[in-house]
Amino acid sequence: MDNEVVKILNGKLYVDGKPIELRKKGLVYLLIDLSDSMNCFVGSHAELSQLTGIPVPSRDGGTVLLVERGLCDKYKTKLQAALAGTRGFANKALATKMVGIVLFSSDAQLYHTASHDRKALQDAITTAESHPLRGGSTNLTEALAVLLNLDGPFVELAVVVTDGKPDNAASALINGEMLKAMGTDILVVGTEDADWDFLGKLRSRPDLSIRTSDEGFEKAITDASRLLKP
């Protein structure tokens, strides 16, 4: 579109002053938080109060507990719960959608390009836990920018899966508004300790958000598939 003037006005896209209708193509992307806080164990207060270890500062500004080896076999982390929920979401969504994954922490990466390939997607979800991006802060600005920079059809839905606060809420909201203006709905699935003031502004509509406990994280992500359009 050389020399064409592209503008977003009142949520609509204009090229050379003419409104452009954007057709949604059935592409869904999950944006999965890999920040330090997602390494926290999931469990009841009574269970987690029994954990002992060495507290150390985390890169997202919090504190993590270094625990003895073997506890990971007993407890599930929030990231493991999120990935299990992502697997359940994908299994349901693939009936009618192409599904892709963006991973983010201090940086962001297009991890799996949206496709109908069930095995490739499940393999990607399985290996995401050991991705080099794991740990760090919550750079949701870059995660949303990945979708803005995609070549090809517009994305129908972006599902943001997080338990934290964005590094820069203002720039993340700007990218979110640009995505919504291009025709993408934003659905948020977050734990109670996430920044819900921010997520309430990022979501497209009040019905496109699910707030859950850590213990309910997996089921909430899977159940988010019910909000998909036919």
Which residue type occupies 188? V
Burial class (CB in 10 A: 0-12, 13-18, 19+), 50: exposed
Other CB atoms closer than 10 Å to residue 33's CB: what's the count? Answer: 26
Confidence check: pLDDT of 183 > 70: yes
Confidence check: pLDDT of 168 > 60: yes
Question: Burial code of 90-110, b = ≥16 C-beta within 10 A, e = fewer?
Answer: bebbbeebbbbbbbbbbebbb
**Distance of alpha carbon 143 from alpha carbon 33, whole angstroms:** 9
Burial class (CB in 10 A: 0-12, 13-18, 19+), 25: middle
Residue 1 pLDDT level (bands cut at 50, 70, 90): very low
CATH superfamily to which 22-42+76-227 belongs: von Willebrand factor, type A domain (3.40.50.410)
Confidence check: pLDDT of 6 > 80: no
Candidates 207, 152, 208, 156; CA nearest to 182 is 156
Confidence check: pLDDT of 24 > 50: no
The phi and psi torsions of 69 (rounded to 5 degrees) equal -65, 145
Task: Give the pair of three-digit tokens for residue 35.
Answer: 């920040």
Residue 42 pLDDT level (bands cut at 50, 70, 90): confident
* Residue 89 and residue 80 in contact, taking contact as beta carbons nearer than 8 Å: no
Which residue type occupies 167? D
Candidates 159, 146, 138; CA nearest to 209 is 159
The phi and psi torsions of 190 (rounded to 5 degrees) equal -140, 155
